[in-house]
Amino acid sequence: GDSVTQMEGPVTLSEEAFLTINCTYTATGYPSLFWYVQYPGEGLQLLLKATKADDKGSNKGFEATYRKETTSFHLEKGSVQVSDSAVYFCALVSGSARQLTFGSGTQLTVLP
Amino acid sequence: DGGITQSPKYLFRKEGQNVTLSCEQNLNHDAMYWYRQDPGQGLRLIYYSQIVNDFQKGDIAEGYSVSREKKESFPLTVTSAQKNPTAFYLCASSRGTDPQETQYFGPGTRLLVL
């Protein structure tokens, strides 16, 4: 079945540091890939997505590139802010599935 | 403002009691979903509905029930058969029934067992 593996957290960075959160996947066919963000006590918000190989999703300074050859969709940001502190979820949906499959989430804390 | 509302924010359940979590959307979305989130884990799908009066079980439907009598509403009942109901419950909706449509989430309801 489909699965998503994220790097384990928590991740703690200083403000303005570079962020990478790794995400790899296993899926049948050509899945669409997503990053969601969850701020404390809230629901999830879509951060970015990519629907085919080599697509780059971007939003709010975050980027992720759909790499079919390495089955990866790593999240990056060049300079994090305290307000980026949240839990980040990688997710996919494949053509044969009827539901999103989520990774376990990565807690990010940014210190001033 | 369009969006998804969930109520209540916190809910307490006594042993043997059924409780119902509300989810309403005014986005005119066709599909709606219920997820359960446990600490340190990703989301797991409980039920989903692609059209009024129809719904499908997700990965962890046992101990839960749903209804979809109106397009904008998708309440979830946690029954006494659910032995470990303490969790954060998230409702979501998407415009179409294609599973690759972006899902939009509500703020969640935290259920605690007394």
Kindly provide the b/e burial profile for residues A66-84, where b requires at least 16 CB atoms within 10 angstroms of the residue's own CB. beeeebbbbbebeebeeeb
Q: From B89, which residue of chain A is nearest by alpha-carbon distance? A: A43
Residues of A in contact with B45 (CB under 8 A): 99-100
**Proportion of chain B above pLDDT 90, given as a percent:** 74
Q: Which helix (H) or strand (E) holds B19?
A: strand B19-25
**Pairwise CA distance, residues A42 & A2, whole Å:** 26
Q: Which chain B residue has the Cα nearest residue A30?
A: B100
What's residue A57's pLDDT? 97
Choose from A98, A106, A107 for mutation: most chain B CBs within 10 A: A98
CA distance A63 to A81: 15
> Are residues B42 and A45, on separate chains, in Cβ contact within 8 Å?
no
* Averaged pLDDT for residues B9-33: 93
Integer Rg of chain B from CA: 13
The pLDDT, as a whole number, for residue B15 is: 83
Task: Please say if the pLDDT value at position B76 is more than 90.
Answer: yes
- Give mean pLDDT, residues A70-97: 92
- pLDDT confidence of A109, banded at 50, 70, 90? very high
* SS3 label, residue A82: helix
pLDDT at A2: 87
pLDDT tens readout for residues A8-47: 889 999 999 999 999 999 998 889 999 999 998 888 899 9
What is the residue-averaged pLDDT of chain B? 91
- Average pLDDT over every residue of B5-32: 93
Chain A partners within 8 Å of B56 (Cβ): 98
Average pLDDT over residues A54-70: 96
- The whole-number average pLDDT for the span B75-93 is 93
Q: In the predicted model, is pLDDT for residue A90 greater than 70?
A: yes
pLDDT average, residue stretch B44-71: 95
Asked if residue B38 lies in contact with residue A102, where contact means CB atoms within 8 angstroms, the answer is no
Question: Does the pLDDT value for residue A96 go beyond 70?
Answer: no
